[in-house]
Chain A
Amino acid sequence: MSTSTSNSVAAASAAVSASRARRSVINKKLVLTLVAWTIALVMFFPIFWMILTSFKTEAEAIATPPSLFFTPSVEGYIEIQARADYFKYALNSVVISLGATLLALLIAIPSAYSMAFLPTKRTQGTLLWMLSTKMLPSVGVLLPVYLIFRDLGLLDSRTGLIIIYMLMNLPIVVWMLYTFFKDIPKDILEAGRMDGASTLQEIFHLLLPLTLPGIASTGLLCVILSWNEAFWSLNLTTSNAAPLTAYIASFSSPEGLFWAKLSAASTLAIAPILIFGWMTQKQMVRGLTFGAVK
């Protein structure tokens, strides 16, 4: 009897502690979910507010206290479309960011391959040096770049921006690809070589399929960085090659009321990349955590 009692007590206490443990796990999850949601909402709020402002009139946009409920108006959108052709800028943004990304991948894949699988004693130094070029503020090289572009006839051309964005993103692309490639066991490539694969075949048939999520997320990041870049696009273009960042800049002003129009222009400018980001977020996350768990 006493044994059975003690057994049942033990079972009960085990059940209690198990349920406590379960509850604490649930609590932990709940807290984490709440924290994640709060952070997500805080991060999304400025974008939400911008979209909301874009449907206000200029007077409502600067009203204090700001109104959350109002009659939406598309006046801002109509006015900005009358002043500048959105589609021309959007097409430039698409061509330039995709072009720069493809070009960067084309150069970065072979370089990351050689650094990851055939390192020399200077590889680490080279990688660090590449990254250090990102530490220089862009305006420091504005004049030389402007003069080179002028002499090569690249000012206000998509080709010019594609080249500059490719150069700008190359260090990051090489670094990311390098870390992804490093995670691939050398043995796999060696096995391929034993079977008679050439270097190109090795890259195309073994390396690229194995690291595809990583390459995809690197490419996506490169597209986003090129899309949002505003310094070079403002300084090296006038009208023919001007992308959406230049389009937004033309609605900012130190004089007069412009918040609703600026918000409408910004909403239109980020809409494509935002949708693109949502559609590809699985690949992004998969790529960025690729090889993280061993």
Chain B
Amino acid sequence: MRLPHITKSRRHLLSLASVAALAPLSAQVSAETITVATVNNADMVVMQSLTSEFEKAHPDITLDWVVLEENVLRQRLTTDVATQGGQFDVMTIGTYEVPIWAKHGWLTKLDNLPEDYQVDDLIKPVRDGLSVTEGEKKGLYALPFYGESSMLYYRKDLFEQAGIEMPEQPTWSQVNDWAAKLNSADEGVYGICLRGKPGWGENMAILGTMVNSFGGRWFNEEWEPQLDSPAWSEAINFYVDMMGKYGPPGATSNGFNENLALFSSGKCGMWVDATSAAGKLYNPKESSVADKLGFAPAPIAKTEKGSHWLWSWALAIPESSKSKDAAQTFITWATSQEYVNLVGEREGWASIPPGTRVSTYENQSYKDAAPFAGFVMDAITSADPTDPTLEPVPYVGVQMVTIPEFQSIGTQVGQMIAAALAGQMSVEQALSSAQRSTERTMRQSGY
């Protein structure tokens, strides 16, 4: 309990009150309540719906849920963790936040996990993304709830009609040629759908991987922004040109969700996005292209490095939590193999939270239900956040840079590129102002 600014008399009053409050406890043992903050994504909704299963197995713990949209949640959790507010016992955060928050000492290190949890079964790049890898704070700080990479989805039927065969590893220039062939205004099919909505986790996720693959990088080894380099110019010109010719109109308002709706209603020939969309696209209840869906690795250009991203939503315990043991019991349950099996049996194997455990990908029931499983596993294991670019960089992260300044830098650059996509300015203008604003932010942060 932090009560630094409370006067002595108030403290007496509080201790009296707490004695009074605790008195009935001696007679009966009541359950410990832990507050879990999570994102409103389908996999987390399933986790919430299994509350009773957890409480049945652990009658001494009850769960209280705070479910919020990603951006609102991020702001809410950052405020609480930075001020040590202590409002949450379990926080759902991503591979971007975990290393930064852990270095600030805001998260509890998970070094005494039970043996049957099988830490080694967690997929290595995902586990590394949730750890601090060097220094005195070295260790694991969050457990992965689901992991994802990016891949190319395409319409098998349209490819067949156009006589195109998908190679094992497509390239961006091939994607451009195919988009030209598939694009058909009469049938309402756009050759390619990609994110255009500005934001570090929206358009910059896909653009980050494109720039990597075109040989570019965010910063050189001296932390100098590289947005005015030829590689950035080539990648962004390619993207704006292709989306302008063969993309859907108003692409600057399309994020993951909008593209998912477009692709699943049959309006896109190809789409490069998160592997976690596969389960939804394969579900005939949600998608009209479930039986025509093809998939391939994310396209590459000059290099394979950093061509597909790595992201994981994970459960962490803030230092300010007052119920750390109960919180750890919950997060080990929700990220265990036992939980994956429970969801598989109750919700169907295609609905399990993917991308966290090696054993999931060895499970025959999952392999049968999800033909994309192998691809996803390959994409996740081959994504290397510690070596994401052709030239060396001082940062970790494929589609992001794990420094606190990146949220604002990424979103600003994303807005400028969206303006170029909308035709409000040229790509060169967008990149030069992006370079200037990034230089300014980095200078102000003391780099």
Contact = CB atoms under 8 A, between A and B. Distances in A.
Interface of A: 58-59, 62, 64, 82-84, 142-143, 146-147, 150-152, 155-156, 234-235, 238-239, 242, 246, 249-258
B12 interface: no
A67 B359 CA distance: 45
A150 B257 contact: no
Contacts of B253: none
Contacts of B256: 254-255
14 contacts: A83-B48, A143-B83, A147-B83, A150-B86, A151-B2, A151-B3, A152-B6, A242-B66, A250-B67, A253-B70, A254-B70, A254-B71, A255-B41, A257-B261
Contacts of B113: none
A253 B69 contact: yes
Given A82-B49, A143-B83, A155-B87, A256 B42 contact: yes
Interface of B: 2-6, 35, 37, 39-42, 45, 48-49, 64-72, 75-76, 79-80, 83-88, 255-257, 260-261, 265, 276, 280, 285-286
Contacts of A84: 65, 67
B64 A254 contact: no
B286 A83 contact: no
Given A59-B286, A238-B35, A239-B65, A146 B70 contact: no
Which interface residue of B66, B71, B265 has the most chain A CB atoms within 10 A?
A: B66
Given A150-B83, A156-B87, A254-B257, A234 B35 contact: no
Contacts of A83: 45, 48-49, 67
A143 B78 CA distance: 11
A215 to B, nearest CB: 36
B199 to A, nearest CB: 9
A249 B45 contact: no
A252 B83 contact: no
A147 B6 CA distance: 12
B40 A258 contact: yes
A71 B75 CA distance: 39
A23 B76 CA distance: 61
B203 to A, nearest CB: 13
Contacts of B48: 83
Contact of B69 (A59, A152, A235, A254): A254
A147 B84 CA distance: 9
Which interface residue of B40, B88, B285 has the most chain A CB atoms within 10 A?
A: B40
Which interface residue of A59, A152, A251, A253 has the most chain B CB atoms within 10 A?
A: A253
A151 B6 contact: yes
Given A82-B49, A151-B6, A255-B42, A235 B79 contact: yes
A151 B5 contact: yes
A147 B265 CA distance: 48
Given A151-B5, A249-B72, A254-B256, A146 B40 contact: no
